[in-house]
Amino acid sequence: PSAIFLKDYKVPPFLIDKTELTFDLDEATTIVTSRLHMRRNPAFGKSTAPLVLDGGEDVKLIGVAMDDYALPPEEYRVSENKLIITATADEFLLTCETLIEPQNNTRLEGLYRSSSMFCTQCEAEGFRHITYYLDRPDVMSVFTTTIIADEARYPVMLSNGNEVERGKTDEGKTVVVWHDPFPKPAYLFALVAGDLAVKNDVFTTQSKRDVKLQIFTESHNIDKVDYAMEALKRSMRWDEETYGREYDLDIFMIVAVDDFNMGAMENKGLNIFNSSCLLASPETTTDDTYLRVEAIVAHEYFHNWSGNRVTCRDWFQLSLKEGFTVFRDQTFSADMHSETVKRVEDVSFLKTAQFAEDAGPMAHPVRPASFIEISNFYTLTVYEKGSEIVRMIHTLLGAEKFRAGSDLYFDRHDGQAVTCDDFVAAMQDASGVDLTQFKRWYSQAGTPIVKVTDSFDAATGTYRLTMVQDTPATPGQPTKLPLHIPVRVGLLDEQGSVLTAEVNGVSAEDHVLHLTSSEQEFEFHGLSAKPVPSLLRGFSAPVKLRYDYSSTDLLLLLSSDSDGFNRWSASQQLAVNELTALINQAIEGQELSIDSQLVHGFKALLNDESLDPAMVALILALPSQAYLSELATPIYPAAIKQARQYLKALLANALSADFERVYREHKMDGDYQPTAEDIAHRSLKNIALSYWAETESELAQQEVVSQFKTANNMTDQFAALSIAVNSQHEKAEALLASFYEQWKAEPLVVNKWLMLSASQEQETALTTVKGLMEHPAFDLKNPNKVRSVLGGFGQSVSGFHHENGSGYAFLADQIILLNKRNPQIASRLCTPLTRWKKMQPELSVKMKAELERILAEDLSKDVYEVISKSLA
C-alpha cells in the first residue's frame, strides 16, 4: 500500500450538484441506484481528464448510464476499486446501479446490519462501500434518498434532512423519500431502517423555531434515552448562547446501534451512536458513562456547525473539525459541571495517552502530511492535541476575540470545505493577533519539553524565569522549530499566599508568558523574596514542563495554589517523584521503602472540608500504570505495578482512619442523580474505600461486600466490585459471578464485567481471557466486546506483559483474526505492541517478534500502516 500526501492536493476535476439515491433494502443483497448530476469543475481548469469514481471491493457494479444511455462495457472499466469513464460531457447525469451485501459487511463501514437493523457509517471513506462516488469531503452535494423496504420488518426508515414523501410500491413495499437541503460531502450521508422505538421531544430555538427531536433505539432500550435527550437540549441551548449557533433543520434524530467502530457519528440531521455512548440509567450506568454520554451527545451535535456547515477540504484537515469540536465539547462539559475537574480529567488523559502517541512510531502532526489509511488518523493527536491548539488560541486571543474569530470563521466559510489555515486566518483576522509562528503547532509533531530555571535578585526585587524549549525528533521530522507557547504563571510566597507581580509593566496575580524562542527570559518585578512559581497554570500548553520543585514546594502548591489545576498537578508530581524512586528500587530488586511526603499532603486534604470532594478524589488517585509507563524509559511494567501497590498500601495504612471517616461521611442516601455534586461525593467515597480496603481492616472488607450488595446505582456497585477485584478480596470471584448473574440481560453492563474480568492480575490471566472469548456473552463481531476483553487484558500486567511473551502472542493472534473482518478495529488493537522500543529489553524483543509475525500476513491497509511504521 502507498501513502498519499497533503502536498499533492488538487481540487476535484468534477462536481456533483445533486445526488439521488434509491436503496432497495434487503439483508442479503441491497440494490443501490444512484443518479449523480455532475459537471466538470471550473476551478480545475480546462481538462479532458476521465471521470474516476471511488468504490470498494464489496460493491458489485450492475450497470452504468450517462444521460440515461446505458454505457456498453467498452466505455467504462473497473480497476482497483475505481470506476473509470473515459469520455464525458461538461455536464451530465450519471446513473449507477450497484449491489451490496449488508449482512456480510463485517467492516462496519458503508451499509451494514447491526442487531435487527440496517445502518451506515460513511466517515471517512465508507460511502464508497455503498456505491461509486467522488468520495472526498470537498465534493458537496444535495442528497435525496429513497428507501424501499418491507414495512412490517422496517417500520422506521430514516435518512438525512426531512421526510418529503411516503408511499407504496406495486409489490406492497413501503417507499420513503428524504431530502436534505444542505449540500454535504458523502461522509455525512446516513441511512437507518429497523423496527425501532422512539422518544420524541421539541426544542425551541433562539429564533423561536420548533425543532422536532427524536431518539430511536431497539424497543428494550427506549427507557434509557432520557438523559441523552436532556443532554441534547442543553447542548443546543449552549451552542446558541456560547457560539451563536442555531440548529438549521426542522428535525434532529439520533439512533443507537450496538455494533459501531467508534463512539458516534455526526451525519447531518441523523446522528448514529454506539449504544454504549447514548444509553443511560442509574442501575446500569456509572457516573463516568453518564458524563461521557453528555459529552458525546454534545460533541456530535456541535459538529452540525463545526464539521457539517463548515467541513474539511481534505482528510489531512481532520483536526479542523475534530480539534475544534473537542474543544467545544470540553468547554461545554466544564460549563455544565466543574471547570477544574474537567480540565484535570482532560489533561490527565492527554498526558497519558496522547503524549505516548506523540513519542511513539505513529507520531504525526495535528495536520498530518501523509497517510496510507485515513482511519488510522482518528487519533488522540488529531482530537485531543487538536483541541489543545484551539484552547491555546483562546488563551492568546481572550474570550471575546476568540468568539469574534469563530463568528468570522462560520460566516466566511458557511457551506464550504476548508483548511486549518482558514480557521487560523479567521481567528487572526478577527483579533489582530499574529498567529504566524503559532501555526507551527499544526505541522510539527512531538511534545515540546520546556525546561524552567529561576533566580531572584533581592536588590531589585526581580524574579527571573528562564525557559528553554525543545521538541524531540519524531518519524520524518528530525529537527524542529521553536513554537509559540503560552505559559500561564502565578507566584506564591512561602506561606502559600498569592503574590502580585509586574511583568512588562502589567501588574497581576497571573500572567500569560509568550515563549517563542528556543531560550527566553522573563522578569517579574516588585517582589520581596524568592517566590514559589505556579507554572503552566490550567495546563496552558500541551508541553512537558521541567522545573526542579522540592517536595516542600510541591506540598505548598498542593495545599495553597489558587489555581486548582496546579494543586492537582503538584500532587501528581509529588507522587511521580516517590513512585519513580520506588520503581527504581523494584528494578534493582531491592526491598521497597520510602519516607513518603504524600502522606502529609493527603492527610491535610482528607481533613479540609472546604475542598470540592471531586478534586480531593482526583488528587488521591495515584498516577496510573499507563501514565507512569509514558514517563518511563525503558518501561518495566511489573516494577511499576509493584511500586504503585506499595505506595497505595503505605498511604492506606498511614491514613486508614481518615479514609474510613471520609468514606462514611460521603455516603449518600436517596435517589441516584448524575449531578456534579453527587458525582463528587461518590467519587471521593469510592476512592476512600479503595484505600481503606487495602488495609487489613475486617470492617473494610465487609463494607466492600455490603456496598456491592446494597448499592442502588451502578457507580457504587461497580466501584465495590472493582475494589474487590483489584485488592484481591477473598470474595472477588464470587462477586464477579454474582454480578454477571444479575446483569446478564444487559449487554452494556456485561461489557464492563468482561473488561474487569479480563484485567485481573493473576498468573492464569491468559487462560481467563481465552475463556472470556469463548463465553456466550462474547461476540467477535461486536467492537464493544472486543474492546472490553482485549482492552481489559491489556491492563493486566501479569497477563499481557507475561515474561514468556504469551500475552503479546495472544493479542497478535486476535489482530490477525480481525485484520480482514474489521480492519479498523484490528488496527487499533495494535497500539500496545507499537510501544515495543520503550519496553524493558526481555519484553521488547518478544513484542517485536509478534509485530514481525503480523507483518508477514496478507494485511489490510489499516493494519499494514501501523505495523510497518512501528517496525521502521
Residues noted as catalytic:
300
The residues in 475-534 that bind Zn ion, with binding defined as CB under 5 A, are none
Closest distance between ligand HT7 and the C-beta of residue 341, in Å?
23
Does 378 interact with ligand HT7 (rule: CB under 6 A)?
yes
Strands 311-312 and 417-418: parallel
CB atoms under 10 Å from CB of 643, counted, come to: 26
d(CA 152, CA 194): 9
Residues contacting 768, CB < 8 A, separation 6+: 757, 758, 760, 762, 799
Does 254 interact with ligand HT7 (rule: CB under 6 A)?
no
Closest distance between ligand HT7 and the C-beta of residue 578, in Å?
38
What is the per-residue DSSP string for 256-267?
A: EES--SSSEE--
Torsion of CA 239, 486, 454, 575, to 10 degrees: 40
> Of 300 and 658, which CB lies nearer to ligand HT7 in the complex structure?
300
Closest distance between ligand HT7 and the C-beta of residue 301, in Å?
10
> Of 368 and 486, which CB lies nearer to ligand HT7 in the complex structure?
368
d(CA 184, CA 122): 12
Closest distance between ligand HT7 and the C-beta of residue 331, in Å?
16
d(CA 625, CA 638): 10
Does 129 interact with ligand HT7 (rule: CB under 6 A)?
no
d(CA 317, CA 315): 5
> Of 318 and 786, which CB lies nearer to Zn ion in the complex structure?
318
d(CA 783, CA 791): 11
Does 190 interact with ligand HT7 (rule: CB under 6 A)?
no
Does 375 interact with ligand HT7 (rule: CB under 6 A)?
yes
Does 299 interact with ligand HT7 (rule: CB under 6 A)?
yes
The residues in 567-596 that bind ligand HT7, with binding defined as CB under 6 A, are none
> Of 120 and 325, which CB lies nearer to Zn ion in the complex structure?
325
Closest residue to ligand HT7: CB criterion:
262
Residue of the chain from 24, 97, 123, 630 that contacts ligand HT7 (CB under 6 A): 123
Residue 123, contacted partner among Zn ion, ligand HT7, none, CB below 5-8 A by kind: ligand HT7
> Of 349 and 456, which CB lies nearer to Zn ion in the complex structure?
349
Residue 352, contacted partner among ligand HT7, Zn ion, none, CB below 5-8 A by kind: none
Cell (9 digits) for 828 = 487499533
Q: Are 148 and 169 in contact (CB under 8 A)?
A: yes
**Burial code of 355-391, b = ≥16 C-beta within 10 A, e = fewer?**
bbbbbbbbbbbbbbeebbbbbbbbbbbbbbbbbbbbb
Describe the strand order of the beta sheet including 197-204 as a list of residue ranges: 197-204, 210-217, 251-257, 270-274, 264-265
Describe the strand order of the beta sheet including 156-159 as a list of residue ranges: 110-114, 117-121, 191-194, 156-159
What is the per-residue DSSP string for 660-703?
A: HHHHHHT---S-----HHHHHHHHHHHHHHHHHTTSS-HHHHHH
> Of 34 and 261, which CB lies nearer to ligand HT7 in the complex structure?
261
Q: Is 78 exposed, middle or buried (0-12, 13-18, 19+ CB in 10 A)?
A: middle
Q: Are 536 and 508 in contact (CB under 8 A)?
A: no
Residue 261, contacted partner among ligand HT7, Zn ion, none, CB below 5-8 A by kind: ligand HT7
> Of 262 and 579, which CB lies nearer to ligand HT7 in the complex structure?
262
Does 266 interact with ligand HT7 (rule: CB under 6 A)?
yes
Q: Which stretch binds Zn ion (CB under 5 A): 316-324, 341-349, 592-600, 772-780?
A: 316-324
The residues in 320-359 that bind Zn ion, with binding defined as CB under 5 A, are 322, 325
d(CA 487, CA 480): 19
Instruction: Tell me the C-alpha to C-alpha distance, in Å, between residue 737 and each of 125, 573, 742.
Output: 42, 39, 9
Residue 121, contacted partner among ligand HT7, Zn ion, none, CB below 5-8 A by kind: ligand HT7
Cell (9 digits) for 41 = 469543475
Q: Are 732 and 762 in contact (CB under 8 A)?
A: no
Point out which residues pair with 417 in neighbouring strands: 311
Does 121 interact with ligand HT7 (rule: CB under 6 A)?
yes
Closest distance between ligand HT7 and the C-beta of residue 264, in Å?
6
Q: Are 160 and 177 in contact (CB under 8 A)?
A: no
Strands 4-5 and 370-371: antiparallel
- Nearest CA among 808, 793, 794 for reference residue 846: 808
Closest distance between ligand HT7 and the C-beta of residue 307, in Å?
7
Residue 757 CA, chain-centre distance (Å), reads 24
Please report which residue ranges of 440-489 form alpha helices under DSSP H: 440-443
Residue 362, contacted partner among ligand HT7, Zn ion, none, CB below 5-8 A by kind: none
Residue 865, contacted partner among ligand HT7, Zn ion, none, CB below 5-8 A by kind: none
Closest distance between Zn ion and the C-beta of residue 421, in Å?
20
> Of 154 and 301, which CB lies nearer to Zn ion in the complex structure?
301
What one-character DSSP code corresponds to residue 511? E
Closest distance between ligand HT7 and the C-beta of residue 313, in Å?
16
> Of 92 and 378, which CB lies nearer to Zn ion in the complex structure?
378
Q: Which stretch binds Zn ion (CB under 5 A): 96-104, 267-275, 315-323, 674-682?
A: 315-323
The residues in 837-856 that bind ligand HT7, with binding defined as CB under 6 A, are none
The residues in 485-544 that bind ligand HT7, with binding defined as CB under 6 A, are none
Cell (9 digits) for 283 = 442501575
Q: Which stretch binds ligand HT7 (CB under 6 A): 261-269, 278-286, 590-598, 721-729?
A: 261-269
Does 787 interact with ligand HT7 (rule: CB under 6 A)?
no
Q: Which amino acid is at 36?
A: L
Q: Which stretch binds ligand HT7 (CB under 6 A): 59-67, 197-205, 257-265, 479-487?
A: 257-265
Residue 294, contacted partner among Zn ion, ligand HT7, none, CB below 5-8 A by kind: none
Q: Which stretch binds ligand HT7 (CB under 6 A): 86-94, 225-233, 298-306, 349-357?
A: 298-306
> Of 380 and 616, which CB lies nearer to Zn ion in the complex structure?
380
Does 300 interact with ligand HT7 (rule: CB under 6 A)?
yes
Closest distance between ligand HT7 and the C-beta of residue 815, in Å?
17
Residues contacting 731, CB < 8 A, separation 6+: 705, 724
Residue 293, contacted partner among ligand HT7, Zn ion, none, CB below 5-8 A by kind: none
Residue of the chain from 265, 270, 344, 829 that contacts ligand HT7 (CB under 6 A): 265
Does 261 interact with ligand HT7 (rule: CB under 6 A)?
yes
The residues in 311-350 that bind ligand HT7, with binding defined as CB under 6 A, are 322
Would you tell me which residues interact with Zn ion (CB under 5 A)? 322, 325
Would you tell me which residues interact with ligand HT7 (CB under 6 A)? 121, 123-124, 261-262, 264-266, 299-300, 303, 322, 375, 378, 824
